[in-house]
Structure 1
Amino acid sequence: MTMRTILYTGKGGVGKTSVAAATALKAAKAGKKILVMSTDPAHSLADAFDSPIGPDPQLMAQNLWAQEMDQGQILEENWSDIQGYVTSLFEWQGADQLEAEELAMFPGMDELFGLLMIRRHHQEGNYDALIVDAAPTGETLKLLSLPDQMSWFVEKILPVERRVAKVIRPFARSTKNLPPLPEDSFFGAVKRFYEAVASVEDILTDSENASIRLVANAEKMVIAEARRAYTYLNLYSYGVDAVVVNRLLPDSVSDPYFRAWRESQARHMETINASFSPIPILTAKLFDREMFGLEALSELSEDVFADDEPLDMLFRGTTHDIVKNGEGYDVVWHLPLVEKENVDLSKKGAELSVKVGNYKRSIVLPDSMSRLEAVGAGVEGENLKVRLRDAG
């Protein structure tokens, strides 16, 4: 049986680690073997469980293991040959050995090696489900788009460079004026590295077994980042099956001091529903204490999931599609019960909003589409289609 994988991401500080740990704990209590793993360099799983966690899976409760990534072993398996050549280039340019080795570790490599650990756990198959506490959305989106960015280079450019290097290498060795050229082992390592990263993409885009959950607070900047993240996850075919809105003021808080805050959260919840519906919106209240330790995480899990099974695929598909045509793009929302009424349409920069009767939908478009104008919209069958065209 294929392992269920759930990756949690969100803007830093929204509580995604606590939600990931709570999800894992609730699933483990149901009898499933669960591993919750942090790929965020700023590990906080140990803080969430209030217990030390190491680089190897460690038993935290019955059926529940936790792991905070140490990239050493993954680095040795996937990066050492590449790092060796890049280090030699920096040394040729005048860096000392230590500086060269540090420069050869590019920004974001820690998070990337964490994603490669997902691949290892799938290969080993020791758990029923893997819950991933990933890096904040910005870093995670860059990593998840990496296979697409690498594919053209690996498939088209790398073979040519390999042939050229083979011809030039004997001459380059006889002069000190040319930089060191990579050996065949380097090109093989790059190809293996790409294949490993691409296999992680295959795991996380498996719509039957993997999904991403966005964690947010009812705050303007947090919601903006979550909306943008959802758009890009759609573009790269990563399925989002839930949005968890954390730290909502509970109904029991009636002090007038919090009235403005409560009204603000209510307005932001309207934006969240318009942006993500029909994806399930799960909520968690603001507790009166810090949420760490098994007891607190258990309480959080009950608040988020209630009677829902945390490992269920809560939603399949997308809220909208972006379709390219000869004249521009169409944004298509699937609204089964929508009736043919007047469409209220607005677009400001990258934000597109439409309203048809009681339905209101809003998305953040990719940056490359922000220049386009919304020139019309209409209901076609069960779909609401908005036409975007170049202003020129």
Structure 2
Amino acid sequence: MRIIYITGKGGTGKTVISAITALKSSQYGYNTLIISSDPAHTLKDCFGIEVGREYTKIAKDLYGLAIDPVKEASEHYGAIMEYIASIFRARGIDEILAYELAALPGMTGVATMLKLDMIIKEDSFDTIIIDTVPSGDALRYLYVPTLLSRMSRRMMKLISPIVEMGRVMTPITGVPTPTKESVEKGIEIIEKMENIRKYLLDSNITSLRLVANPDSFSISNVKRTYIQSSLYGLNTDLIIINKLYPKEGVGEFFKDWLINQTRLIEDVNKTFHPIPIKMLRLYNSELKGIDMLTRAGDDLFGDEDPTQIYYKGRTVEINRYGDRLEVIYPAPHITKKDIEIERIGDELLVKLSTDMGIVDLVLPLPLITYKMKVEKARLINGKLHIIFVEEK
């Protein structure tokens, strides 16, 4: 099975690239599913077919699925939302507003993950292409399975037996006690997230592909996304530059655009080496329908299998030297002044300074570091080296 996430800044054409990739995959004979997790749901615009919550046949060996986060949430964690809403109601908040507030942040992403877990267990598809929400939100929810660790599950299981006792305290505290159903549903969600995490971090199965246009804003976004995804442990195997201006026939008006485009492409090739870069030109009409998407797929991939793993980089390395342990994370395009590190229990809090502000990343540490302290951290050739030493 291959799972390919495709993301990029809004407006770069990530949905079209997802559609091209999925169609090309199906033309290679792979039973392919394209999932839209973006609330904009533009698969219909690409294929000219209404794609809903059930598998929709688009072409031979190609099916589509649109995630409805509200319906998925009500099915998967309605009991949890009911409990959160009850807390707001207990505080005197209007019932309708209470349910709006109870809609958990990242609902779309979590709903997609839970749906993906179900699809993987069905084992009906060879290739799953996921057209995600724009980059920043996509990475946040791709990291949710890591944040919801085994510790969270153990805590939920400890809470479960004392739920009934908590009901006695409700009249005193004024805070509703979670129902046993909501606690059990929480445990179930965490276990599903742990399962999906194994697939996401397996570079033989899952790849992240980043889409940009030949402009400085979307390329800066791709650089930032690549930094975060590398630290999260996700394998980025391909960068796609979409909507390239043709070199001939654009006229004097676009002369400066072409000069800037050439400079940016050179920068992208240097920045992301050795990750392959593919480019797709701007067409004289919208890419819509099977024929146009097939043509674009031939232009983008040629005779290549689009599901191949174009690049596989190592994520986290661990080395032992006597009483010291070295943990190495990929940290491309980061300088010493851009980064701050803090150890919190079995996690490493990394603060990155980016052109969009401070980004906080939480990285899991190996259990072996539990009785060790951070001795020093170094940036060497695009990698973050954390040295731990045993406490005396």
Q: TM-score range by the shorter chain?
A: 0.7 to 0.9
Query: What does 1:15-34 correspond to in 2, within 5 Å?
Result: 15-34=13-32
Q: Residues of 1 paired with 2:190 and 2:379: CA distance?
A: 42
What SS does the aligned partner of 1:233 have? helix
Query: What does 1:223-234 correspond to in 2, within 5 Å?
Result: 223-234=219-230
Aligned partner of 1:258 in structure 2 is: 254
Equivalent of 1:105, from 89, 98, 103? 103
Normalising by structure 2, report the TM-score. 0.80
For 1:111, give the aligned amino acid: G
- The answer on 1:172 being equivalent to 2:172 is no
Following TM superposition, by how much is the alpha carbon of 1:253 offset from its aligned partner in structure 2, in angstroms?
A: 3.2
Question: Residues 228 and 64 (structure 1 numbering): CA distance in 2 closer, same or farther, change over 3 Å?
Answer: same
Aligned partner of 1:269 in structure 2 is: 265
Aligned partner of 1:196 in structure 2 is: 192
Check conservation: 2:34, 2:130, Cα contact below 8 A: yes
What SS does the aligned partner of 2:92 have? coil
- The answer on 1:350 being equivalent to 2:341 is no
For 2:198, give the aligned amino acid: D
Check conservation: 1:350, 1:367, Cα contact below 8 A: no
Q: Residues of 2 paired with 1:155 and 1:259: CA distance?
A: 58
Following TM superposition, by how much is the alpha carbon of 1:75 offset from its aligned partner in structure 2, in angstroms?
A: 2.3
Following TM superposition, by how much is the alpha carbon of 1:71 offset from its aligned partner in structure 2, in angstroms?
A: 3.4
Following TM superposition, by how much is the alpha carbon of 1:32 offset from its aligned partner in structure 2, in angstroms?
A: 1.7
Query: What does 1:126-205 correspond to in 2, within 5 Å?
Result: 126-151=124-149, 154-155=152-153, 157-159=155-157, 161-162=159-160, 165-169=163-167, 171-173=168-170, 175=171, 177-205=173-201
Following TM superposition, by how much is the alpha carbon of 1:307 offset from its aligned partner in structure 2, in angstroms?
A: 2.0
Question: Cα deviations across residues 287-310 of structure 1 (Å, max 9, x unaligned)?
Answer: 111111111111111111112110
What is the RMSD of the two structures over their aligned residues, measured on CA atoms? 3.4
Comparing 76-85 and 11-20, the one that deviates more = 76-85
For 2:297, give the aligned amino acid: S
What SS does the aligned partner of 2:118 have? helix
Aligned residues: 355
- The answer on 1:243 being equivalent to 2:231 is no
Question: Cα deviations across residues 113-145 of structure 1 (Å, max 9, x unaligned)?
Answer: 122211111111122111110111110111012
Following TM superposition, by how much is the alpha carbon of 1:267 offset from its aligned partner in structure 2, in angstroms?
A: 1.2
Percent identity (aligned):
29
Check conservation: 1:19, 1:300, Cα contact below 8 A: no
Comparing 222-231 and 101-110, the one that deviates more = 101-110
Check conservation: 1:34, 1:127, Cα contact below 8 A: yes
Question: Residues 346 and 298 (structure 1 numbering): CA distance in 2 closer, same or farther, change over 3 Å?
Answer: closer
- The answer on 1:313 being equivalent to 2:309 is yes
Aligned partner of 1:355 in structure 2 is: none
- Structure 1: gaps of 5 or more residues: 335-344, 352-362, 378-383
Q: Residues of 2 paired with 1:332 and 1:177: CA distance?
A: 47
- The answer on 1:288 being equivalent to 2:284 is yes
Question: Residues 216 and 322 (structure 1 numbering): CA distance in 2 closer, same or farther, change over 3 Å?
Answer: farther
Question: Residues 28 and 290 (structure 1 numbering): CA distance in 2 closer, same or farther, change over 3 Å?
Answer: same
Aligned partner of 2:206 in structure 1 is: 210
For 1:49, give the aligned amino acid: F
Check conservation: 1:5, 1:129, Cα contact below 8 A: yes
Question: Residues 158 and 4 (structure 1 numbering): CA distance in 2 closer, same or farther, change over 3 Å?
Answer: same
Question: Residues 96 and 330 (structure 1 numbering): CA distance in 2 closer, same or farther, change over 3 Å?
Answer: closer
What SS does the aligned partner of 1:296 have? helix
Aligned partner of 1:59 in structure 2 is: 57
Normalising by structure 1, report the TM-score. 0.80
Aligned partner of 2:374 in structure 1 is: none
Question: Residues 59 and 255 (structure 1 numbering): CA distance in 2 closer, same or farther, change over 3 Å?
Answer: same
- Structure 2: gaps of 5 or more residues: 340-351, 362-376, 387-392
Question: Cα deviations across residues 363-388 of structure 1 (Å, max 9, x unaligned)?
Answer: 9888569xxxx9996xxxxxx47789
Check conservation: 2:90, 2:174, Cα contact below 8 A: no
Check conservation: 2:32, 2:126, Cα contact below 8 A: yes
For 1:237, give the aligned amino acid: G
What SS does the aligned partner of 1:224 have? helix
Equivalent of 2:77, from 76, 79, 84? 79
What SS does the aligned partner of 1:211 have? strand
Question: Cα deviations across residues 141-191 of structure 1 (Å, max 9, x unaligned)?
Answer: 11012122232761465455556655443x324x26521111332222211
Question: Residues 36 and 26 (structure 1 numbering): CA distance in 2 closer, same or farther, change over 3 Å?
Answer: same
What SS does the aligned partner of 1:79 have? helix
Following TM superposition, by how much is the alpha carbon of 1:333 offset from its aligned partner in structure 2, in angstroms?
A: 9.0
Question: Residues 130 and 104 (structure 1 numbering): CA distance in 2 closer, same or farther, change over 3 Å?
Answer: same
Question: Cα deviations across residues 32-58 of structure 1 (Å, max 9, x unaligned)?
Answer: 211111011111111111222222111
For 2:312, give the aligned amino acid: R
Question: Cα deviations across residues 10-68 of structure 1 (Å, max 9, x unaligned)?
Answer: 11000000011011111111222111110111111111112222221111111111121
Aligned partner of 1:359 in structure 2 is: none
Check conservation: 1:231, 1:364, Cα contact below 8 A: no
What SS does the aligned partner of 1:213 have? strand
